[in-house]
Amino acid sequence: MPLCFISIGSNINREHNINSALSALQSEFGLLKHSSIYESDSVGFAGDAFYNLVSAFHCEADACDIAHHLKNIEAEHGRVRNTEKFSSRTLDIDLLLYGQQIIQTETLSIPHQDILNYAFVLEPLVEIAPDKQHPVHKVDYAKLWSDFDKSNLQQRKIQPPPLQATP
């Protein structure tokens, strides 16, 4: 059963939406392991700061089905999709990793490119999976984080992980 990693973020009613999303995700996928919550400035637009974290769970469903469930949870939390890539969001949940698989479809790209591009994804991922390797680059996440350009880092750990069981 693949170990899946997802990123979760919100900058609209963020505390409520993150907590509600974690509850919905646990109902859908069972036991979750979470990183701490990080507060980060909005990227690419002027907006309120985000709460971000990464969660992990084991799941037998295929990656496309998981991604579909994540989009449904977003919609249930009032996520409005528009053409703007960078905008405020009630909830943003992305499937980052599906085991060590590499998946490229019209609607799904695994591993997710945000792992390498954004500190608000990589740092929480490192917290819960430092020794796991990126499926394409074959480098562990701790090394990717140590090499990441942190010169303009705009985030801070604000909360330890919620109580959890290790999947």
* Residues designated catalytic: 79, 89, 92, 94
Rounded CA separation 36/64 (Å): 27
For the chain, the distance separating the N- and C-terminal CA atoms, rounded to the nearest angstrom, is: 11
Nearest to 68 by CA among 107, 104, 32, 103: 107
Rounded CA separation 113/52 (Å): 16
**Coil, strand or helix: which one is 52?**
strand
Residue type, 41: D
